[in-house]
Amino acid sequence: MAKIAIQGIGEHPAPVIFVIEKEEPDVSYVLTSDYSYDHVDGEGGFDKSSGEAIADAAEKIGTEVKFMKCDTFDPEEIGEKIGEILGGLDPDDEVIINYTAGSATIKIILGATAVAISRFMENLRIVYAIKYPDGTEKYLDQTEALGKLFTQLNQAV
């Protein structure tokens, strides 16, 4: 059984790093565009590219990072990358899906994927994770709330 994080990255690496530091996963898959990977979030206090900052944080924890580069505005391509990730999971793995960062397309697909696989992955958590430069942070496990919401929505239609 492995601990796996699945995340997206936009212009700020802080949410991805926050999950890696808090959860200490064995592997963190990060959906990213070339732009987001190479972007330096100077306003967020970073002096390295997001890819480098995430890799450095992961190395300190002992987490393997697998960057999944794709067109972050193309639902089909994002779906293919998520399919690759899911295909390598063991049903006993502990999976954390952070839907906080990345393009809007990545966020919605990660959230929908999380709700869909929650039906058969017992060790799944859906998290909202954000950490601002001023020290403000939110780390919320929203698995139960989102599961209830989608169940209610499915029953309403």
Q: Which of 139, 129, 99 is nearest to 14 (CA)?
A: 129
DSSP 112-127: HHHHHHTTT-TTEEEE
Could you tell me the pLDDT band of residue 153, with boundaries at 50, 70 and 90? confident
- How far lies 101's CA from each of 86, 106, 119, 120, 128, in Å? 19, 8, 24, 25, 9
Counting every residue written for the chain, the total comes to 157
98 or 152, higher pLDDT: 98
Q: Indicate the angle between helix axes 104-117 and 75-87, nearest 10 degrees.
A: 40
CATH class of residue range 3-156: alpha beta
Q: What is the mean pLDDT of the chain?
A: 93
Mean pLDDT score, 126-139: 90
Could you tell me the pLDDT band of residue 61, with boundaries at 50, 70 and 90? very high
For 80-114, the pLDDT digits (tens) are 999 999 999 998 999 999 999 999 999 999 988 99
What's the pLDDT score for residue 152? 77
